[in-house]
Amino acid sequence: MLTTTVAGSLPKPVWLAEPEKLWPAWRLSGPELAAGKLDATVLAIKLQEDAGIDVVTDGEQARQHFVHGFLESVDGIDFGRRVEVGIRNDRYKAMVPTVTGALRLKGRVHGGEARHARAHTARKLRFTLPGPMTIVDTIADAHYGNRVTLAMAFAALLNEEARALQADGVDVIQFDEPAFNVYMDAVRDWGIEALHRAADGLSCTTAVHICYGYGIKANIDWKASLGGEWRQYEAIFPALAASRIHQVSVECRNSRVPMRLLSLLAGKDVVMGAIDVADNAVESPEAVAAVITEALRYVPKEHLIIGTNCGMAPMRGDVAYAKLRALSAGAALARAAVAAF
């Protein structure tokens, strides 16, 4: 009850990549980089275990970025043909690569780090992949000519990798869909269908993570424009509640999401973000427990899992792990309170 996990990414060691960057440059290359990524994966797992996290991740230590870490393993994308596009409905501009031919996986995407992570922890392992809608929103297309067709093509590749991750011993496969909070109509029209395609045939636990983004300036400015109550979840939770995905990972701590919206996810496991990833102030265990207590008004305790608002990749390492310790301590306080009640 009230188990703990993290949304996905964690800071990389300073010897592996530039700290506090969303797109960090690697500090190693060639075989040294490959070995360093695996070493960092074990380190991230050890630090999560020491912080008391129940369901650990690889910390996304082997990827430079949560979307492009996947795209690098896909044939049919021209990384030399970069186009400037407005991402997440023009929230920020980015130079993105272009789809120029039929998409195909070059081979395994995350097999190395997934098997290495599995070999070095007895705890349940959560593994993240970018969701089809978020990928489509982070790339240019000169081949498929249609966002839905392109999303389904990516979903098929994600499914191929997800099935292989399951065979590697991963317990939870999570698709990251921050774009779901931006294109709410499309979520209902084809976003859920694309997720189902990506999760097709999996027997492990499946999850979708939908947040308001990493703690970078463009996202903080966007949040400031959303008004006193953030109601994006209200438009998409009913469709997610009716979906075949088991868990929904959401942002709650320091957010203006009305907590009562969580009741729209009836029947699902809710991974509630109880840690703010856009603020270096480390939460107290009592503050974490208070968010959990409020969520318990809307989510049955058997369905509530405690996590972070989003990935922590661009944060300072010492801050991120202090926050994970607060997360565990706060969950323990909440468990004790529920047991005593």
- The residue ranges that bind Zn ion (CB under 5 A) are 211, 310
Shortest distance (Å) from residue 146 CB to Zn ion: 27
Give Cα 166 to chain centroid, integer Å.
17
281 contact partners, CB below 8 Å, separation of at least 6: none
Q: How far is the CB of 294 from Zn ion (least distance, A)?
A: 21
With respect to Zn ion, which residue has the nearer C-beta, 157 or 179? 179
At 266, the amino acid letter reads: A
With residues binned 3-state (H G I as helix, E B as strand, rest as coil), the percentages for the chain, rounded to 5, are 40, 20, 40
Residue pointed to by tokens 């191929």:
160
Question: CA 291, CA 18: separation in Å to the nearest integer?
Answer: 33
CB of 192 to Zn ion, least distance (A): 18
Which of residues 36 and 273 has its CB atom nearest to Zn ion in the complex?
Answer: 273
Q: 223: Cβ–Cβ under 8 A, 6 or more apart, which residues?
A: 212, 230, 255, 256
Q: Which is nearer to Zn ion, 61 or 255 (CB)?
A: 255
Return the number of the residue (305 or 310) whose C-beta is nearest Zn ion: 310
* Cβ atoms of residues 66 and 51 within 8 Å: no
CB of 233 to Zn ion, least distance (A): 13
- Residue 292 and residue 270 in contact, taking contact as beta carbons nearer than 8 Å: no
CB of 211 to Zn ion, least distance (A): 3
Q: Please give the Cα distance from 332 to 321 (Å, whole number).
A: 17
Q: Which is nearer to Zn ion, 6 or 153 (CB)?
A: 6
